Chain A
Amino acid sequence: MKLLPTRPLRLPRLRTYVPRPEDPKIFWFNSERADIVDEVVRRILERYDAEESAELALNDAAYHEIRRLEADKSEGARHKLDYWRGILRRVGRMSVEGKHETLREIAHAMAKDVAGNFDPRVYHFASRFVPGVLTAAMNPSNILHNVVGSAGRLDGLVATEGPIDKIRHISKRGTAVLVPTHSSNLDSIALGWVLQREGLSPVVYGAGKNLFTNPIVSFFMHNLGAYRVDRRVKAGLYKEILKAYSCVVIERGYHSLFFPGGTRSRSGAIENHLKLGLAGTGVEAFARNRARGIDRPVYFVPTTINYALVLEAETLIEDYLKEEGRARYIIEDDEFSRIERWISFFNKFRGLESVCVIRFGEPLDPFGNPVDEQGSSLAPDGRIIDPGTYISRRGTPSVDARRDAAYTRALGKVLAQAYQRETVVMPTQLVAHVVFRRVVRATPGLDLFARLRYRGAIAIPCDELVTEIGQTRDRLLALEAAGRVHVSNFVRRQPPANILDGVLATWSGYHAARPVARVQSGSLIAEDPNLLLFYQNRLRTLAPEIAGDDEADQIAAREIAGMEHHA
């Protein structure tokens, strides 16, 4: 039975790679895959054990799949449509065994479709190949030279910060769950490359199925531990399978990566309402292991990925404005799929030092406690405490879905605060914020759409702008000293005039068709309020604290801070 369309591409098994003892856990993934799928199916059957709930799950899955497939005109879709219509017809007359058998069949097919793969040969190949390709994209005139060996240049473009030694160390004791902010499809690639560069283990992660449509991307995703998440499939059963899958994988000690914001931040803002979704299964995984007597800690690592330019900025903000974040669709064709945007993207960083700063935050246990260098959970008074106490009552550990959901919500809040603290302010964000504040000052109280009409109408003398950039930067540095936020090296070290020049050069090249701002006879003209909004959104919550003391500036800053965004 074929339920879902694409078949994973894999290398033929001519010579099996035998993992060495020092290899990361993920190198064993393939030998465990069938086991993992079986375990997922077993849990699903346990979950829908009652006859009514099995019937409900089948009906719900058939209903949602039929709705989805009816809109799909392909040949394969028709075939599957017949299958689901058959289920819907028969389910009422099925015996209990029949329902469970059908559920098992569907769950198995879905779990198999979700399950990822890890091929050490592809991993070794990719770790040599990726830096070359990324660097080549930055300098297409010298492709051969770049592909052959220039990881060095990429090193300079993607900077890493945070307690990396500690994360490396505790990853040996427990399972690390990386939970980064999400603003671009480049995120997983940049992060994957950085993990390898810093000697951190590769991770298992769920990637949207739309990323698997490109055969080359799909090949790498599939063989580097990614599992597929098809966001078009709305069936409750499918969501349970995804949860069970990620839980089993974490339980078994595979380091994992989740973007808890779900999709890329449409507004450019830092995610502040985290549902955690699949990442929440980290709490359950810890509890399940403990209840079985396995002491394997789970560590959540809040991570921010900070870009000076966001590859898909224009599409993302358009989408955000279209529905103000409510009815999102899955974007299939954006800047990510157009190679010329990649080239121009990487070419525009000359002079800004790092393209991207990936900052790892302090690891946390599933209950929001910090951990020490050895990975032991710490109470607020610095005492080592046993994380097992959180899932125990009167000394007995247990698994409790409602309790774990409550822990997950609480963890979401702690992670959102960590994102705020671990954000690294990039030069483009600083300049966009200062300019946007001026735009708001000039157009107080207008909504985003009304403000669009002021495209090209607001001019700010460059010398005033440079002064304000300097002052705002200094206030950011004070906040950084207080542990509230971080500032990129370029912002920290360069004179304000250089910051402005560097940012304008970067923008003018990349967002060429839609200039963000331009300079005309000594003044900066704000051209695109939306892109300004997008780039400054990471500073939104700090706006009142980094604004000047004069009344108009403060009013504008409060207005910016009050713009509630649905990430």
Chain B
Amino acid sequence: MSPPVAVVGGGSFGRSLAQAAARVGQRVLLWSRQPRPMPAVAGDGSIHTVSALPELAEAELLLFAVPSPYVAELADELGRSLDGSHLLVHVSRGLLGDDLHTVSEVLSSRTPCRRVGALAGPLVARNLVEGQPGGAIIGSAFPEVVESVSDAIGGPTLRVYGTDDLMGVEIASALVGLVALALGYAQRLGMGPGTLAVLATRGLAEATRVGEMRGGSARTFAGLAGAGDLIAAVAGDGRPEVEFGRALAEGLGLRAAAERAGAYIEGALLAKQVAAFGRRVGVEVPLSGGLARLMAGELSAEQLAEALMARPAKRE
């Protein structure tokens, strides 16, 4: 019998992943800090909630769906039960610290596991649950990680692509989350399609600059992890980052906006980190910098729009 698939984190995304895996026949172990009723299973598989982290060691593949600030602590705790045979994959849109450390870097330095990866792309909780046709990308230097995620959740309704540019996937996923937040904000302010297109495209260019600085490949940003993910946000896939941006534009505070979005939003912290990183390494990050100041209340939306428009237009 093949080993079960573990899902760490019982938020909406974690539960959807568990459902997607169960749909294709996997036995799923779902760990959550706050036990909630078990999600419904649509396929041949099963979902078992577990309360003790060491129980997850039975799995070979562990999917991490927890907010980035909790990753280190959880990795320390879970790592005590794991060894080199486990494969760790996360779905976080967060980065850590002003050096923009990725979640996979944290996982591989704080657990004995080296075979790590990140799952990204136009993947939203509802699609996973409903089994709508879609695709995702998994970044990992290890072929067995790509293969294992594809086996665990891929199927007739979910195409899973692979790339070995893990760094690119993680930076793209994080920064697209930030651009999605900005898009939600701009939409609520009543900006038209042309404005949103410029915001999305230049936002992606900014993401690519940051990604290349951290050693990612520009090509990844043109793929599912970057452009693909962003197009889904623009098309209105109902993702929480866009919702969060809208709520901010309506004048809600950070906490109230997060409640409305119904998920942890990495972007609130991330904008500041990206801005600090850009300053330190000399990469221009006008959008992230502006968003950081906007969310800190140092800048109004009008001032931000003005500042972005006033930048000298250069060669693209």
Binding site for B on A (CB under 8 A): 367-369, 379-381, 383, 385-395, 400, 402-403, 405-407, 409-410, 562
Contact = CB atoms under 8 A, between A and B. Distances in A.
7 contacts: A368-B114, A389-B85, A395-B85, A403-B115, A405-B141, A406-B142, A410-B114
A226 B76 CA distance: 44
A390 B144 contact: no
B112 A406 contact: no
B114 A386 contact: no
A385 B84 contact: yes
Nearest to B3: A394
Contacts of B83: 379, 385-386, 389
B60 interface: yes
Interface in B231-260: none
B84 A367 contact: yes
Given A381-B79, A406-B141, A410-B141, A392 B85 contact: yes
A385 B112 contact: yes
A545 to B, nearest CB: 13
Contact of B114 (A381, A390, A394, A562): A390
10 tightest CB-CB pairs across the interface, nearest first?
A390-B84, A406-B141, A389-B84, A379-B112, A389-B85, A389-B83, A385-B83, A381-B80, A402-B143, A406-B142
Contacts of B79: 379-381
A330 B108 CA distance: 38
Contacts of B141: 405-406, 409-410
B212 interface: no
Contacts of B3: 394
A261 B85 CA distance: 30
B144 A403 contact: yes
Given A367-B114, A379-B112, A403 B84 contact: no
Interface string B74-115: 001001100111000000000000000000000011111011
B190 interface: no
A193 B83 CA distance: 39
Given A392-B85, A393-B144, 15 more contacts: A367-B84, A379-B79, A379-B111, A380-B109, A380-B110, A387-B84, A388-B84, A389-B84, A390-B114, A393-B85, A394-B2, A394-B85, A400-B143, A406-B115, A406-B142
Interface in B112-127: 112, 114-115
A410 B144 contact: no
Interface string B1-18: 011000000000000000
A405 B141 CA distance: 9
A367 B2 CA distance: 26
B213 to A, nearest CB: 11
B282 A562 contact: yes
A562 B279 CA distance: 13
Contacts of B110: 380
Given A386-B83, A389-B85, A394 B60 contact: yes
A385 B111 CA distance: 11
What is the interface of chain B mostly: helix, strand, loop, or mixed? loop
A407 B114 contact: yes
A403 B114 CA distance: 11
A387 B113 CA distance: 11
A415 to B, nearest CB: 14
Contacts of A383: 80
A405 B164 CA distance: 11
Contacts of A385: 83-84, 112
Contacts of A391: 84
Contacts of A367: 84, 114
A392 B3 CA distance: 14
Contacts of B108: 410
Contacts of A388: 84
B216 to A, nearest CB: 14
A394 B151 CA distance: 15
A403 B142 contact: yes
Given A385-B83, A390-B84, A393-B85, A380 B143 contact: no
Interface in B54-86: 60, 76, 79-80, 83-85
Interface string B156-185: 000000001000000000000000000000
Contacts of B142: 402-403, 406
B85 A390 contact: yes
Interface string B135-162: 0000001111000000000000000000
Contacts of B282: 562
A390 B143 CA distance: 13
Given A367-B114, A410-B114, A403 B143 contact: yes
Contacts of B143: 400, 402-403
A380 B112 contact: yes
Interface string B170-209: 0000000000000000000000000000000000000000
Contacts of A392: 84-85
Contacts of A562: 282
A566 to B, nearest CB: 15
Contacts of B2: 394
A414 to B, nearest CB: 9
Nearest to B108: A410
B60 A393 contact: yes
A392 B83 CA distance: 11
Nearest to B143: A402
Contacts of A406: 115, 141-142, 164
Contacts of A407: 114
A473 to B, nearest CB: 26
A15 B118 CA distance: 62
B149 to A, nearest CB: 14
Contacts of A409: 141
Nearest to A562: B282
Contacts of B115: 390, 403, 406
Nearest to B116: A410
A328 B79 CA distance: 44
A400 B144 CA distance: 10
A388 B84 CA distance: 8
A391 B114 CA distance: 11
Nearest to B86: A389
A41 B2 CA distance: 39
Nearest to B164: A406
Nearest to B147: A393
B89 to A, nearest CB: 14
B17 to A, nearest CB: 22
Nearest to A368: B114
B282 to A, nearest CB: 7
A44 B143 CA distance: 24
Contacts of A387: 84
Contacts of A379: 79-80, 83, 111-112
